[in-house]
Amino acid sequence: MNISNDKIFYKNNKLGKPIILWARSRMFDLFMTKMKPNYNSKIIDVGVSSKNNAVANYLEKNYPWQKNISCVGLGNKHSFKRIFPGIKYYKIEANKRLPFADNQFDIAFSNAVIEHVGGAKERIFYISEMLRISREVFITVPNRWFPVEHHTSIPLLHFCPYLFRRLLQHTSLFRWANPKLLDFISKKDILREWPEINQPELIYCGLKFSIFSSNIAIVLKKN
C-alpha cells in the first residue's frame, strides 16, 4: 500500500454517515455474537485509522473492554492516541511482518483493509500474519457486488473493474483506478486466496441484500 496515512479512504465517501454507522453497528453486533469475547480477551485490530471521524474505528468506539485492544496502522501514532489514549498503538510498514509473537492474541480483527494492501500476494501475506498472531480471526471487507462502490460512491461501474479504472484514471478519483490501492473482492476471491487449511466461514453483513450485501465477514476459529 503506497501511502503514508489513511486520510484518503474517507475523503470521497458520500454514502451517508447514518447508513455507514448503521451498517457498522450491524458488523459490530456480528463480531460480538460470533467471536464471544470477554473482559479477558486480548484483541489486535490490524489496520486502524488515525483520522478522527464518525465512521472510523468502530471496534474501538463500541467495544466494552477497550483497554484489552492493541492496534496497528500506517498512520500517525500521536493522532490515534489523542482519540484513544487508553489503547496501545504500533505504527507498522505496509506488507511487513507484524511485531508480535505467534498466538499472542485471542482475536485478530480487521475492517476494510484487505482490499487496499496491494494484490493477491499481499492479501495472502496479510491473512497469514493475522492467522499467525491470533487464535481467532474476524475480518470485514466491502463486497464487490454491493451496487454502490464504497470508496467513490459510484453505482454499478465497479461491476466492470477494467471500465471503472479506465474512466477514473484521469479524474479527481484517479487513486482508485490503481488496483494496488483498491481491489474488488467477492466470497469466491476470498476462498481462492485463503490458505487451504482452516477454511473460514463467510457471512454477508452490514446492509444485507443476499449476494448484493454491503460487506463480507470472514470468521475463523483455529482448531
What is the structure's pLDDT at 3? 39
Each domain of the chain, given as residue ranges in start order, spans: 8-221
Q: Which of 98, 99, 69 is nearest to 86 (CA)?
A: 69
What is the structure's pLDDT at 15? 55
What is the structure's pLDDT at 7? 53
What is the structure's pLDDT at 6? 55
Residue 45 sits at φ, ψ, to 5 deg, of -100, 115
| Run means of pLDDT, 10 residues per run, the chain, 223 residues | 46 66 95 97 95 86 96 90 93 94 98 94 95 97 96 95 96 94 96 85 96 97 81
Q: Which residue has the cell 500474519?
A: 129
Q: What is the dihedral of CA 47, 150, 118, 106, to 10 degrees?
A: 30
Residue 206 sits at φ, ψ, to 5 deg, of 75, -120
Distance of CA 194 to the CA centre of its chain: 16
Q: Return the ∠ at Cα 178 (arms to 187 and 72), rounded to 5°.
A: 70
The class of domain 8-221 in CATH terms is: alpha beta
* Pairing, β 134-142 against β 215-221: antiparallel
Asked if 197 contacts 18 with a C-beta cutoff of 8 angstroms, the reply is: no
Q: Which of 99, 118, 107 is nearest to 183 (CA)?
A: 118
Taking the CB of residue 37, how many other CB atoms lie within 10 A of it? 21
